[in-house]
Amino acid sequence: MHKNPLFIILSIFTIAFFSVSYFLYNSLPTLSAFQPLSINDVVAVANVSAVQTDVPLVMTETRLPESEEVRRMAQAVKITDVSDPVLESGSAIVMDSESGKIIFSKDANRKSPIASITKLMTAMVFLENNPGWETEYKISQDDKVEGGKEYIYNGDIVKVKDLFYLSLVGSANSATLALVRSTGMSEKDFVVAMNKKADELNLKDTFFADPIGLSNYNVSSAYEVAKIAKAALADESIGSAVLSKEYGFETAGGRKIVVYSTDALLDSFPLGDVSLLGGKTGYTEAAGYCFVGKFSKDNGKEIISVVLGGSDIGYRFSKTQELIEWTYGNFDWVY
Measured between its terminal Cα atoms, the distance across the chain in Å is 90
User: DSSP 3-state assignment of 265?
Assistant: helix
Q: Which residues are annotated as catalytic?
A: 116, 119, 171
Neighbours of 65 (CB within 10 A): 7
User: CA dist 20 to 7, 8, 25, 62, 151, Å?
Assistant: 20, 19, 9, 41, 98
CA dihedral in degrees (202, 167, 288, 301; nearest 10)?
60
230 is in an annotated binding site: no
Give Cα 157 distance to the centre of its chain. 33
Rama region for 276: left / alpha / beta (φ>0; ψ in -120 to 50; rest): beta
| Phi, psi for 25 (deg, rounded to 5) | -60, -40
How far is it, in rounded angstroms, from Cα 87 to Cα 315? 10
By DSSP bridging, strand 302-310 and strand 288-297 are antiparallel
Q: How many CB atoms lie within 10 A of CB 239?
A: 15
Residues sharing a CB contact under 8 Å with residue 119, sequence separation 6 or more, in sequence order = 167, 168, 171, 176, 211, 212, 213, 280
SS3 221: coil
Helix (H) or strand (E) holding 322: helix 315-330
Taking Cα atoms as reference points, which of 75, 140, 93, 158 lies closest to residue 331? 75
Binding-site residues: 280
Binding-site residues for substrate: 280
